Amino acid sequence: MDVLHSIALGFATALTWQNLIYCFIGVFVGTVIGVLPGLGPVPTISLLLPFSFTMDVASAVILMAGIYYGAQYGGSITAVLVRIPGEASSVVTCLDGYAMARQGRAGAALGIAAFGSFIAGVLVTAALFVVGPALADFALAFGPAEYTALVLLGLLLVTQLSSGSQVDALLMVAFGLLLSTVGKDPIYGTERFTFHIFSLFDGLNIALLAMGVFGVAELLIMAEGGSAAVQPVVQPKRLLELLPNRADWRASALPILRGTGLGFFLGLLPGGGATLSSFSSYVLERRLAQAPERFGHGAIEGVAGPESANNAAAQSAFVPLLSLGIPANAVMGVILGALLIQGITPGPTLVANRPDIFFGVIASMLIGNLMLIVLNVPLISLFVQILRLPGSILAPLIIVFCVIGAYTLSNNVVEVIIMIGFGIAGYLMRKVDLDPAPLVLAFVLGNILETNFRQALLVGKGTLALFYTRPIAGVLIACSVALIALQVGRAVMRRHDAA
């Protein structure tokens, strides 16, 4: 099937009136659940599973896909406005997006997040039509050893996120890895660090950690200093100030393109996903920047790159699912279950036997991203008005928002207590100038690292042979060693210059 025929078939499927309605419902619901911390696309799509059985298969996947990539943009709204990431993939957006909001540039941050996501969606859709099925085979080259090496390199790069010293960042990474071990052993299922608390059996939830160390900690800082601790937000005086200006676009153009490419690649890999893509993009932009010290203080590149990357990854994750039957993350796993129940087996034969599903879903992504732009850009001025609320009103609203989000995870008050505990920990970190971003991201990557490392040891019969006999794993390990050597060399040179 040639490219033009694939495009025509895809849009013929996606542009039917029922699929347009399902696509709109998906991106709208996705945006809403992205804004509400604690909900997330996994439980939402799971709740919709019974309804999907009565729908056409293509329509069901289009609806679920819209929820997934719509949530990526929705998560950036609260991350920018109140420093609470609605999704794990929006954690790094808090760093510069919230700083821009405090400078009166919330509209520009939200605008570049929306436009960056749209551009990434368009480019990824075009790439999926042309090379999607062929690139899916590349994901098969990644086994446990490759994932372990990739995540190890990612953890080393996480230390570049910190605005403090490398030692402090490594301390936060170690603490994040320790927290990721709470719950059941991924191989044998034994309990670890649960203290017989039922809510900890399945591990700590990333939403509780992110809401605590970012949102609740920010409220405690505000409460400590009263009105003096809350700097007045500069309010835009003209409509044009609510959108990115020409300088913003010049600074963001290359980060959007780089974030799109990085997200597209990492989205193809099981375990990669939107979160790994967003922080990888942030690290890359900070390393390439001429003035990296601007990051964390309102650099628009720190919003444009990660938001483009997480949307690109959310969409490219459908390629290994549909063409290989390999779910890249929990959301893809739920959608895989929906397909199997309806008698559709994803795999290499799906493109040949049911091209309407494969290419229809891809075409719907372009339509869905256009709907997100039309839906969200006009609302930017409304979102910015939230910052006009005085701290005495906004702070109680935020804490209620967080408590409801934490409680809805499992309808258990223990989750609320855990979130408050993380909030107190985040407050103490702020007092001693420890950056919580490396902790949160190491927590996300910790389970992936442990599971794949132990699987690699099982396959290698207890040896580390896979890490140097498989080419991709060997190259990634070499990159990690080179990065460590570079950091050590820089530290030695700084000490020598100081002496």
When pLDDT is averaged across residues 181-188 and rounded to a whole number, the result is 85
Any alpha helices (H) in 161-300, and if so which ranges? 166-180, 206-210, 217-225, 246-267, 273-288
Residue type, 108: A
Residue 474 has pLDDT above 80, yes or no: yes
Sequence-ordered list of residues with C-beta below 8 angstroms from that of 387, at least 6 positions apart, any chain: 81, 101, 106, 233, 235
Q: Are 322 and 346 in contact (CB under 8 A)?
A: yes
**pLDDT digit string (tens) for 112-130?**
988 898 899 888 888 877 7
Asked which of 139-148, 199-208, 222-231 is least confident by mean pLDDT, the reply is 222-231
Question: To the nearest whole percent, how much of the chain has pLDDT over 70?
Answer: 87
pLDDT at 242: 64
pLDDT at 167: 78
Q: Are 90 and 40 in contact (CB under 8 A)?
A: no
Which candidate, 210, 305, 321, places its Cα nearest to that of 267?
321
pLDDT at 436: 82
| Measured distance CA(82)–CA(75) in Å, rounded | 11
Per-residue confidence at 259, pLDDT binned at 50, 70, 90?
very high
pLDDT at 160: 63
Question: To the nearest whole percent, how much of the chain has pLDDT over 90?
Answer: 7
When pLDDT is averaged across residues 29-45 and rounded to a whole number, the result is 76
Q: Which two tokens stand for residue 173?
A: 């990474």
pLDDT at 57: 86
Residue 256 has pLDDT above 90, yes or no: yes
Residue 239 has pLDDT above 70, yes or no: no
Asked which of 219-223, 235-239, 388-392, 410-414 is least confident by mean pLDDT, the reply is 235-239
When pLDDT is averaged across residues 116-145 and rounded to a whole number, the result is 76
Name the residue with higher pLDDT: 375 or 38: 375
| Measured distance CA(115)–CA(117) in Å, rounded | 5
Asked which of 9-13, 186-190, 221-225 is least confident by mean pLDDT, the reply is 221-225
Residue 238 has pLDDT above 60, yes or no: no
Q: Are 350 and 61 in contact (CB under 8 A)?
A: no
Which candidate, 387, 361, 491, places its Cα nearest to that of 109?
387
When pLDDT is averaged across residues 242-252 and rounded to a whole number, the result is 85
Distance, CA of 306 to chain centre: 8
**pLDDT digit string (tens) for 390-405?**
766 777 777 887 788 7
pLDDT at 228: 45
Q: Are 114 and 373 in contact (CB under 8 A)?
A: yes
When pLDDT is averaged across residues 182-204 and rounded to a whole number, the result is 83
Residue 469 has pLDDT above 90, yes or no: no
What residue ranges do the domains of the chain occupy?
3-498
Asked which of 29-38, 98-107, 310-319, 416-425 is least confident by mean pLDDT, the reply is 29-38
Count Cβ atoms below 10 Å from residue 246 Cβ, excluding itself. 7
- Using a 10 angstrom Cβ sphere, with 0-12 exposed, 13-18 middle and 19 or more buried, the burial of residue 32 is middle
**pLDDT digit string (tens) for 368-394?**
988 988 887 777 777 767 667 676 677
| Measured distance CA(314)–CA(267) in Å, rounded | 6
pLDDT at 232: 46
Per-residue confidence at 39, pLDDT binned at 50, 70, 90?
low
**Arithmetic mean of pLDDT over the chain:** 80
Q: Pseudo-torsion of CA 149, 139, 340, 445, nearest 10°?
A: 20
Per-residue confidence at 484, pLDDT binned at 50, 70, 90?
confident
Name the residue with higher pLDDT: 138 or 29: 29
H-helix or E-strand spanning residue 183: strand 183-184
| Measured distance CA(207)–CA(405) in Å, rounded | 8
Per-residue confidence at 22, pLDDT binned at 50, 70, 90?
very high
Phi and psi torsions of 341, nearest 5°: -65, -30
pLDDT at 227: 45
Phi and psi torsions of 346, nearest 5°: -65, 145
| Measured distance CA(279)–CA(255) in Å, rounded | 13
For the whole model, what pTM was predicted?
0.76
- CA separation, residue 250 to residues 56, 119, 258, 400 (Å): 44, 15, 14, 39
Q: Pseudo-torsion of CA 253, 254, 258, 263, nearest 10°?
A: -10
Q: Which two tokens stand for residue 485?
A: 């050597």
Residue bearing tokens 């979102």: 383
pLDDT at 348: 66
pLDDT at 24: 93
Sequence-ordered list of residues with C-beta below 8 angstroms from that of 402, at least 6 positions apart, any chain: 37, 84, 211, 215, 216, 419
Which candidate, 264, 236, 306, 283, places its Cα nearest to that of 85?
306
**pLDDT digit string (tens) for 56-71?**
888 988 998 889 888 8
Residue 422 has pLDDT above 50, yes or no: yes
Q: Is the C-alpha dihedral spanning 292, 297, 299, 303 positive or negative?
A: positive
Sequence-ordered list of residues with C-beta below 8 angstroms from that of 96, at least 6 positions apart, any chain: 109, 295, 296, 297, 298, 299, 300, 301, 302, 303
Long-range contacts of residues 125-131, Cβ cutoff 8 Å, at least 24 apart: 125/315, 125/362, 125/363, 125/365, 125/366, 125/369, 127/264, 127/316, 128/315, 128/316, 128/318, 128/319, 128/362, 128/365, 129/3, 129/6, 129/7, 129/10, 129/359, 129/362, 130/3
Helix 106-139, helix 57-82: angle, nearest 10? 140
When pLDDT is averaged across residues 462-479 and rounded to a whole number, the result is 86
